[in-house]
Structure 1
Amino acid sequence: MSAQHLTHTQADRRSPRIAIVGGGLGGLVCARVLQRHGRTVTVYEREPSSEARSQGGTLDIHAGTGQQALQAAGLFDAFSALARPEGQEIRMLDHTATVVRRFLPEGEADRPEIDRGQLRGLLLDSLAPGTVRWGAGVDSVAPLDDGTCRVHFTGGATDDFDLVIGADGAWSRVRSALSAARPRYTGVTFVESSFDDCDTHHPEIARLVGHGSMAAKGSRKTLTAQRNSNGHIRVYSAFRAPEDWHTALDLTDGAAVRAHLLGRYDGWDESLLALLRDNDGGFVHRPLYALPVPHTWDHVPGVTLLGDAAHLMPPLGVGANLALLDGAELARVLVTEPTLDSAVRAYEDVMLPRSAEHAKACGEGLNRLITVDDAQEVLFPDLEGMRSS
């Protein structure tokens, strides 16, 4: 019998072969915690390098989830040195640019902001050299009868592992080994744009957004803006529309997209329309998808999921925090439970109901933030509840 085909019991008597598919936040923190405890792990990432694409906007890292995971990873002090406590400020406006509500940080930094790219870089730098195999796409995985799992890589190669952790996001290739569920369109689309060095070049936008985030709300649509590091501001036009709303629109034509958005927000205050009119560069289409709630599966030895692969939900400040917590908790039980299988069962018994609760709250929060019906309340009746979900 080859080393790759040891029985599950035999595998637990030696250092198990663990593969993490996906180099996002959850997978990387899982790898970091495992390595802190002397375990060997390999992360397989489809992208060719860490600089292959922008990592997105800013994240508020919560004390009871994301911060807890960073403490387990031994990276909390390094995170705190980069984080922006002032970024917790939120301004809520109506479509006339009248401030409806304003939230300010209270006491110690509970949910400081950090750019996703900065946090990912912090995690990558903490790993042993060679941990991440860049350009290693995974097409599928197949659980084997002996409790191990075979990974089918892009290009035809295969390899067997004692445990495969699917941390490969919304369109996970690992998920199909456990579940037939696919992400569904939520009915809400985001169109992203941005401003560079706002404090110098766009002072009016900088004042409108403030130190953290701004959201202006109308019926069936919002305009939100988030301050990132170095004066960079990302803007999201969010509205309800059919999934194919852009069929007659060339999304690569910035002028055409701008004209379309200005039409959608016709009648809004000019200070808000400037978020659409004066941005630097083009627009990025980001339709929102979510997995069914609850998303569960029957336990299968040799494979599990974390983060968006397990519980994709609307982006209301919860997903990244749960991915970090998933990764840290899975790593913890992998080094404390007597067998891999008992560890994965213990992890799934906690993670699945927790994620279902948060996904339900995020779905309800999205419906409050971007109303389904024109007759619904257009202000912010329960924002604090959404922020704590």
Structure 2
Amino acid sequence: MHTPVTIVGAGLGGLVLARVLHVHGIPATVYEAEASPTARSQGGMLDIHADSGQPALEAAGLTAGFRALVLEGREATRILDRDGNVLFDEPDDGTGTRPEVQRGELRRLLIESLPDGTVRWGHKVAGVRSLGEGRHEVAFADGTTVAIGLLVGADGAWSRVRPLLSDATPEYTGSSYVETYLFDGDTRHPAAAKAVGGGALMALAPGQGILAHRESGGTLHTYVALTRPREWFAAIDFTDAAAATARIAREFDGWAPELTALITDSDTAPVLRTLNTLPVGHRWDRVPGVTLVGDAAHLAPPNGEGANLAMQDGAELATALATHPGDAEAALAEYEQAMFPRAARAAADGGELYELMFGDDAPHGMVAMFTGAG
């Protein structure tokens, strides 16, 4: 009764989709460009939300496994100004509703919950074309192809599946992150570790900021935020780690040294992460046999919602398919009808959050939001 589902992309959204399908006895195959589950770093901490990510993991039957991954104390949040003054400090008292986990550990949990062979590693998609009547052909970089009846693009910002549905392409937001790591922070970088505290740090000013999180093992994971044009970053040679670090650090001249140490004392080379977005409210007309989840559908600037929305997408799409055996089109329409407005709201809220973080009133706008004064 159920059409096998082909998923492009083994991120959190695609893996939750595959897992919930498996729970309902619906066969799925995931094609992933990466050569293995450990081929690259999987990013930092994720706060898993009670109204999206947590229900998705419950639908996947993985709540206990997820809870075992939670890093206690990491919901603590503090906001500093450029001089290192603490403007807001909220400890993790255990009553929070957004427990923090490492993205890589959550991804590993999802992968290990799937039957062997579900994820086909080393399958980079070169293109996708319609075969008519709701069927599609996926072509891989090695020259092989596969014809399928139900296709889901879970392949992120630069989705190869999206062109089947939409002409939209991601556009640069005007801001980028530069990623750094300090290892064994409490011992080797005590001043920076004290500034970060037990969870998340936001040191903010108009147009820039230093965002950091305490991960497992005392690792301090930092995203240095700068509102600059693409050309400004293009002029920096990131293959020269020392020169790139020095150039980024110059933008924070005069900031408290315990904050700039999160840049200058990095134990890894700085990595540029440009921030791109699809139009707020991005949607498409129903196309038989194909849909999108996660960033492929509704890429937005980082706001704490992306991974949670992707998992919610995957769980809700799988549930819809299970609810409509033999009528995949009804399931896809039902899923999209709920997903479009949900994603639009999250993107709009994220834009407002970004303005509070890096707008003209930073950091005071964020303090007002957390204290309820604004």
The bucket for the TM-score relative to the shorter chain is over 0.9
- Partners of 2:241 and 2:176 in 1: how far apart? 17
TM-score normalised per structure 1: 0.92
- Partners of 2:72 and 2:277 in 1: how far apart? 29
Gap change, CA 1:383 and 1:74, over 3 Å in 2: farther
Q: Residues 312 and 319 of structure 1 are in contact (CA less than 8 Å); yes or no, is this contact kept in structure 2?
A: yes
Aligned twin of 2:323: 336
Aligned twin of 2:351: 363
Q: Mark the runs of 5 or more structure 2 residues left unpaired by the alignment.
A: none
Q: Given the alignment, which residue of 306, 309, 314 partners 1:322?
A: 309
Cα shift at 1:253: 1.1
Cα shift at 1:104: 3.2
Q: Residues 362 and 386 of structure 1 are in contact (CA less than 8 Å); yes or no, is this contact kept in structure 2?
A: no
- Partners of 1:117 and 1:387 in 2: how far apart? 32
Aligned twin of 2:242: 255
Q: Residues 88 and 367 of structure 2 are in contact (CA less than 8 Å); yes or no, is this contact kept in structure 1?
A: no
> Structure 1 segments of 4 or more deviating over 3 A?
104-109, 382-388
TM-score normalised per structure 2: 0.95
Q: Given the alignment, which residue of 116, 125, 134 partners 1:138?
A: 125
Q: Residues 188 and 288 of structure 1 are in contact (CA less than 8 Å); yes or no, is this contact kept in structure 2?
A: yes
- Partners of 1:244 and 1:113 in 2: how far apart? 35
Aligned twin of 2:338: 350
Question: What one-letter code is carried by the residue in structure 2 that aligns with 1:98?
Answer: N
Gap change, CA 1:210 and 1:382, over 3 Å in 2: closer
Say whether residues 1:48 and 2:32 are aligned partners: no
Q: Given the alignment, which residue of 157, 175, 184 partners 2:162?
A: 175
Q: Mark the runs of 5 or more structure 1 residues left unpaired by the alignment.
A: 1-13
Cα shift at 1:382: 4.4
Gap change, CA 1:384 and 1:51, over 3 Å in 2: farther
Say whether residues 1:93 and 2:80 are aligned partners: yes
The SS at the match of 1:62 is: coil
Gap change, CA 1:110 and 1:211, over 3 Å in 2: same
Aligned twin of 2:362: 378
| Count of residues paired in the alignment | 371
Question: What one-letter code is carried by the residue in structure 2 that aligns with 1:192?
Answer: E
The SS at the match of 2:233 is: coil
The SS at the match of 2:333 is: helix
Q: Residues 8 and 153 of structure 2 are in contact (CA less than 8 Å); yes or no, is this contact kept in structure 1?
A: yes
- Partners of 2:164 and 2:314 in 1: how far apart? 19
Cα shift at 1:163: 0.8
Q: Residues 166 and 309 of structure 1 are in contact (CA less than 8 Å); yes or no, is this contact kept in structure 2?
A: yes
Percent identity, aligned pairs only?
A: 47
Aligned twin of 2:111: 124
- Partners of 1:214 and 1:113 in 2: how far apart? 14
Q: Residues 179 and 221 of structure 2 are in contact (CA less than 8 Å); yes or no, is this contact kept in structure 1?
A: yes
Say whether residues 1:210 and 2:194 are aligned partners: no
Cα shift at 1:62: 0.5
Question: What one-letter code is carried by the residue in structure 1 that aligns with 2:315?
Answer: A
Write out aligned runs for 1:7-86 (5 A).
14-86=1-73
- Partners of 1:141 and 1:313 in 2: how far apart? 24
Aligned twin of 1:313: 300
Question: What one-letter code is carried by the residue in structure 1 that aligns with 2:336?
Answer: E
| Cα RMSD for the two superposed structures | 1.7
